Amino acid sequence: MGGWAIAVHGGAGVDPNLPAERQKQAKELLTRCLNIGISALRSSLPAIDVVELVVRELESDPLFNSGRGSALTANGTVEMEASIMDGDGRRCGAVSGISTVKNPISLARLIMDKSPHSYLGFSGAEEFAKQQGVEMVDNEYFITEDNVGMLKLAKEANTILFDYRIPLTGLDSCASSVESPIRMNGLPISVYAPETVGCVVVDGQGRCAAATSTGGLMNKMTGRIGDSPLIGAGTYAGELCGVSCTGEGEAIIRGTLARDVAAVMEYKELGLQEAVDFVIKKRLDKGFAGLIAVSNKGEVAYGFNCNGMFRGCATEDGFMDVGIW
Ligand code: ASP
Q: List the Cα angle 149/170/152 in 5-degree steps.
A: 20
Whose C-alpha lies nearest to ligand 1, atom 9?
A: 216
Which residue, 63, 83, 72, 81, is CA-closest to 21?
63
CA distance linking residue 112 with residue 90, whole number of Å: 10
Sorting pLDDT into bands at 50, 70 and 90, what band is 188? very low
How large is the average pLDDT for residues 223-230? Answer: 97
pLDDT digits (tens, 9 = 90+) for 50-67: 999 999 999 999 999 999
Tell me the average pLDDT across 185-204. Answer: 70
Residue 113 falls inside a structural domain:
yes
What would the DSSP string read from start to end of 199-223?
EEEE-TTS-EEEEEEE--SBTBPTT
Q: Which domain holds residue 215?
A: 5-140+193-323
* Model pLDDT, residue 162: 58
Distance, in Å, from the CA atom of 219 to the CA atom of 151, rounded to the nearest integer, reads 6
Residues facing 309 on adjacent strands: 12
Residues within a 6 A CB radius of ligand 1: 11, 163, 195-196, 214, 216-217, 226-228, 246-247, 249, 252
pLDDT tens, 288-311? 899 999 999 999 999 999 888 999
pLDDT at 186 over 70: no
Q: Is 196 a catalytic residue?
A: yes
Could you say which of 73, 196, 235, 256 is catalytic?
196
pLDDT at 172 > cutoff 80: no
Give the least confident one: 14-28, 74-88, 277-291.
Answer: 14-28
Torsion angles phi and psi, residue 117, rounded to 5: -115, 175
Domain-embedded: residue 176: no
Residue partners of 75: CB distance under 8 A and separation at least 6: 222
Provide the Cα torsion 185, 188, 191, 197; round to 10°.
Answer: 0
Q: Which domain CATH number covers 276?
A: 3.60.20.30
Rounded alpha-carbon distances, angstroms, from residue 29 to 26, 147, 297: 5, 19, 27
Could you report the per-residue pLDDT of 8-57, keeping only the tens digit for each? 999 987 777 777 888 899 999 999 999 999 999 999 999 999 999 999 99
Contact by Cβ (8 Å): 81, 225: yes
In a domain, 104, yes or no: yes
Whole-number Å distance, alpha carbon 272 to ligand 1 midpoint, is: 23
Residue 321, annotated ligand binder? Answer: no
171 inside domain = no
Give a yes or no: residue 160 inside a domain: no
Q: For residue 164, is it within any domain?
A: no
Look at 9-13, 118-122, 128-132 and tell me which has the smallest mean pLDDT: 9-13
User: Residue 175: its pLDDT value, please?
Assistant: 37
Give the residue-averaged pLDDT of 104-109.
98
Q: Is 247 annotated as a binding residue?
A: yes
Q: 191 near 18, Cβ under 8 Å?
A: yes
Task: Phi first, then psi: give them for residue 222, nearest 5 degrees.
Answer: -65, 145
Q: What is the mean pLDDT of residues 234-263?
A: 96
Residue 304 is assigned to a structural domain of this protein: yes
Q: How many domains does the chain have?
A: 1
pLDDT at residue number 177 = 35
pLDDT, residue 112, reads 98
Whole-number average pLDDT of the chain: 89
- Backbone φ, ψ for residue 128 (5° rounding): -60, -40
> 57 C-alpha to center of ligand 1: Å?
18
Q: Count CB neighbours of 13 within 10 A.
A: 24
81, 161, 214: which to mutate for ligand 1, most atoms within 8 A of CB?
A: 214
Least confident of 67-71, 73-77, 145-149, 275-279: 145-149
Q: Answer with the residue of higher pLDDT: 149 or 312.
A: 312
Mean pLDDT of 62-77: 94
Over range 193-205, report the average pLDDT.
Answer: 88
pTM equals: 0.92
Asked whether residue 209 is domain-assigned, the answer is yes
- In the chain, pLDDT over 90 holds for what percent of residues? 73
